[in-house]
Amino acid sequence: MVFVQKNKIFTFLITGGSGFIGSSLADHLLSLGHRVINIDNMNDYYDVSIKEDNIKDAINSSNYRFYNLDICDFKKVDHVFSENKIDFIIHLAARAGVRPSIESPLLYQDTNGLGTNVILEMAKRHQIKKIILASSSSVYGNNKKTPFSETDAVDFAISPYAASKKANEVLGHVYHKLYDIDMIFLRFFTVYGPRQRPDLAINKFARLINSGEPIQMFGDGTTARDYTYIGDIVSGIVKSINYLINHHEVYEIINLGNNHPISLFKMIKTIEEALAKKAVIEQLPMQPGDVYITYADISKANSLLGYSPTTTFDEGIRKFAVWYKNNQEKSK
C-alpha cells in the first residue's frame, strides 16, 4: 500500500470522484484515514448506476462528502470550496473518449476547457497551492518516436479530446507561474481494471465475448496500447501527492504508463483466456482519431516519484475478469 505522508490527515478534493479512477483513488485515500470531497455531475455518458455503485462504500464514511454538481458551475463550485478547508485538489473530471469528442467538440471544450479553468480559479481564489491534474497519452497523437517522452512535441493532436488535454497543460502553467501553485499533470496511458468504464475496449470486449456477440476490431490487430492497471495508476497518483507535499515551485508533466505496449490482437487473446471463451471478430478499418500505438517512457516518473508499475497485463486482465464476472449486470 502506498501511503500519503504518515501521521498527517489531509482533505482531498477529487473532481470526477465517482468515475473509474476517481472512485478507486478515493477509496484508497479513505483507507489511509484521509478526508475526501467528491465533485461529480453524474452525467449519463454511461449508466449513472455504475457511478453510484462505485461510491456506495465511500459515501457511508464520515470522512467523505459528495457534491452532485457540474465543475463548470462557478458559483456552486465556489460554494464547495468556501465551506470546506481543502488541502489538495485532484482534478480528474472530464468528458472522456476520443471518438465521441469528434462528434461533440463543443461539449468537450466546455467541460474539459472551461471546467479546468474553473478549478484552477478555485485554487487561486482559495489559496490551494497543491494540485494534480489528469492529462492523457492522447496528446502525443501519432507520435513517430517510441516510447513517448514528456519532452516530445505534442502540437499535433488528432482529436478534440487530445487538444483539450494539451490546452489544459498550457493553461496550468499560466496559473503555476502567476500564482505560485505547485502542480503535476499526469498523462495516463489506457487505464484498465475493476470499475473500468463500460465504453472502454477491455470492458466492452469482455461483455461481448462473454455473451457470444461479435466484437469490432478496427484495423488488422497490430495497433497497440500501453495498458496500465488501475492499482498502478492509484499508486502513481499517491506518489505524486507525496512529491508535491515535499517539494515547492513545481510544474511537471509526467507519464503514468506501463512501458509495455500490448497489441489489439494480444489484448483480445488475453481476454479470451481469462473468460475461457472465444471471440467472434468483425474486422473493420481504422477509425478517425485513433492512434497506432501508445508507449510510455516512464523514466521521469521513476526518477521523480519512484513510480514502478508492478501488474503485468496478464495478471491485470485476470483481476479484471474476476471483477467482471461478479459485476456483469453493472458493466452493461
- Residues catalogued as catalytic: 161
Say how far apart CA 160 and CA 34 lie, in whole Å.
35
Q: Is 315 exposed, middle or buried (0-12, 13-18, 19+ CB in 10 A)?
A: exposed
Q: Cell digits for 166?
A: 494539451
Strand intervals (E) in 228-332? 228-229, 251-256, 262-263, 280-284
CB 296 within 8 A of CB 259: yes
Say how far apart CA 76 and CA 94 lie, in whole Å.
17
Name 235's bridge partners: none
Of 67, 117, 86, the residue nearest 13 (C-alpha): 86
Q: Cell digits for 85?
A: 478547508
Q: What's the start-to-end Cα distance of the chain, in Å? A: 31
Between the alpha carbon of residue 173 and those of residues 112, 128, 156, 230, 300, the distances in Å are 16, 15, 19, 27, 19
CB 305 within 8 A of CB 241: no
Q: Is 183 helix (H, G, I), strand (E, B) or coil?
A: strand
User: Alpha-carbon dihedral of residues 229, 303, 88, 90, nearest 10 degrees?
Assistant: -30
The secondary structure element, H or E, covering residue 130 is: strand 130-136
Residue at 230: amino acid letter? I
User: Alpha-carbon dihedral of residues 204, 206, 210, 216, nearest 10 degrees?
Assistant: 50
Say how far apart CA 253 and CA 251 lie, in whole Å.
7
Q: Cell digits for 125?
A: 481564489
